[in-house]
Amino acid sequence: MTGPSRLERVLRSGRFAVTAELNPPDSADPQAVYDRALVLATVCDAINATDASGANVHMSSIGVCALLTRAGYEPVLQVSCRDRNRIAIQGDLLGAAAMGVRNVLCLTGDGVQAGDQPEAKPVFDLDSTTLLRTARMLRDQGQFLSGRTLEKPPRFFLGAAANPFAPPYDFRAVQLAKKVAAGAQFIQTQFCFDVPRLKEFMAQAGDLGLHGKVCVLVGVGPLRSAKAAEWMRTHVPGVHIPDEVIRRLSGVPTDRQRQEGHSLCVEIIQQVREVPGVCGVHVMAYRQEELVAEIIESAGLLPRSTQAGMFNPDEPEENAS
């Protein structure tokens, strides 16, 4: 497969894209991955395989992507700079490309102190920006960082993360511009529970001329309860949940808070669809993959043109132009 990825084709066609996170299992059983992917299959354009998010060990992103490509799905490989140096990262990128992975999300990674093995030694040989440049060099120049020439360069659609919801706010759009200059073609944001702040960020990105240069997928997800929301904003780095969201969830009986969190997520999706420069949503429902289909359907984003990442030979390639 040498053409553009399905995710790239969807985004370049102007269709509103949907991606979702598959939370890797604490297991060596491939069926655990297939079961979770099947839940996401009919509602997403691509499936993200997280890379030890929160500095907690799970099945590796590259392993999950290998299983997803074997099953015919469209994966997004996440690469964190926390755990590997440039030698290992470049090798992993080539290995992933050889398996058919074409979407790569470049991340610096959470610090090891955030996870359950804080005694681990962090690497951070690269950061997300230099990782983008590295992957772009492999793709566009056909060279390793050493200058050695590749026999066959990979075809990557490169992404990065952004957090419009953490101060300093004025710096976030500038940081986005630096990632775009380094090679980012799509962006997945942190959870959005503050649409006005997102609008300000997207307006700043527009002022910098970034609309049309990068495809922004806004991170969304359901909150289980007011208690879970409070824990999340206190313990998960970079997550901003306004007080009014906590009050809204607290204002309904405990047994209805999960449904209220679902409704809130749907409302946010519908609001961000109208924000200039937003090209799609990235749904994150930790250990709740079964909710993704319900949320996407309730938000009016179905049907997707094909199953999640399953290649459709009848879909015209000119969508990639």
CA distance 279 to 12: 9
The residue with tokens 């938000």 is 299
Per-residue model confidence (pLDDT) at position 305? 60
- In this predicted structure, the answer to whether residue 307 has a pLDDT above a threshold of 50 is no
Average pLDDT of span 126-143 = 98
The encoded tokens of residue 208 equal 């910098």
Average pLDDT of span 209-223 = 97
Model-level pTM greater than 0.85?
yes
Nearest of 190, 252, 250, 195 to residue 53 by alpha carbon: 190
- In this predicted structure, the answer to whether residue 317 has a pLDDT above a threshold of 70 is no
Domains present along the chain, CATH in parentheses? 6-222+278-313 (3.20.20.220)
The burial of 135, by beta-carbon neighbours within 10 Å (0-12 exposed, 13-18 middle, 19 or more buried), is given as buried
Average pLDDT of span 68-72 = 95
- In this predicted structure, the answer to whether residue 320 has a pLDDT above a threshold of 70 is no
Q: Hey, which bits of the chain come out as E strands? A: 17-22, 46-49, 75-80, 103-107, 157-162, 186-191, 215-220, 278-283
CA distance 306 to 38: 14
Q: How crowded is the C-beta side of 65, counted as CA atoms within 13 Å?
A: 26
DSSP notation for 268-296: HHHHHTTSTTEEEEEE--TT-HHHHHHHH
The burial of 217, by beta-carbon neighbours within 10 Å (0-12 exposed, 13-18 middle, 19 or more buried), is given as buried
The whole-chain average pLDDT of the chain stands at 92
Per-residue model confidence (pLDDT) at position 53? 86
Average pLDDT of span 148-164 = 97
Average pLDDT of span 11-30 = 94
Q: How crowded is the C-beta side of 319, counted as CA atoms within 13 Å?
A: 19
Q: For residue 39, what pLDDT band results from cuts at 50, 70 and 90?
A: confident
CA distance 294 to 291: 5
